[in-house]
Amino acid sequence: MGMHQYLSGLNELEMISRAPGYFKYQPHSVAAHSWKVTQAAQFLGDLEELNGNEVNWRMVYEKALNHDISERFIGDIRTPVKYASPVLREMLADVEDNLSDNFIEAEIPVELQAIYKRRLHEGKDDTLEGRILSVADKIDLLYEAYEELQKGNPERVFVEIYRESLKTIHEFRDMPSVAYFIREVLPELLNEQFPGSDRLKKIYIDMYMPTNK
């Protein structure tokens, strides 16, 4: 028993594609997604600190870097399937937890097992750091979908991912970092002009403007 299997298995995350089964102009791996989510979480954490909130940076980085590491066991499940129902989402989470626990007990040294159980289980919770992860994950998903639509990808699923990502981000608008993202970053994204950009602006307006009136 040692860390070899864990460390060598990280290579698998470079081979697991995001949004499997759909045509993509720019494929993304789970490993790349984890790095981008960590960057977004870092940005959000900075904004929270600037607004007087205390951030546990160790937990921010642990949650962001490890939030999808269980996909080495089950792969990346299509977003529409994953969120089809709360019951299905809970079942998938249970499967991920069980597979992670089994792996930790079989491969991780005993003195490190408690640490890795914390790292490899669901990081999205009601703590500030868990909320930062929830938003950072959707920010990267938003950009992945937006860039496919910007390139003219005809797959309708990317419109749904774009809409669902905006909706989730909007639900966290009470956080100073998210308010900043909505106020300062989203307008820059939506000001870019390309065929179909008006449709994406309308989704944004329909979702945000009624609340802002």
The pLDDT tens digits for 80-127 are 555 556 776 677 677 777 888 888 898 899 999 999 999 888 899 999
- What is the dotted CATH code of the domain comprising 4-212? 1.10.3210.10
pLDDT at 122: 82
pLDDT at 89: 66
Question: What is the C-alpha to C-alpha distance for residues 203 and 213, in angstroms, rounded to an integer?
Answer: 16
Question: What is the C-alpha to C-alpha distance for residues 23 and 45, in angstroms, rounded to an integer?
Answer: 33
pLDDT at 87: 72
pTM of the model: 0.86
Residues 121 and 97 sit within 8 Å (Cβ to Cβ):
yes
Which residue stretches of the chain have pLDDT < 70? Answer: 1, 73-85, 88-89, 92, 209-213
The ranges assigned to domains in the chain are 4-212
Residue with tokens 């005809």: 154
Phi, psi of 17 (to 5 degrees): -85, 145
Cα–Cα distances in angstroms (integers) from residue 66 to residues 75, 101, 158, 180, 211, in the given order:
14, 14, 25, 25, 34
pLDDT at 213: 44
pLDDT at 19: 79
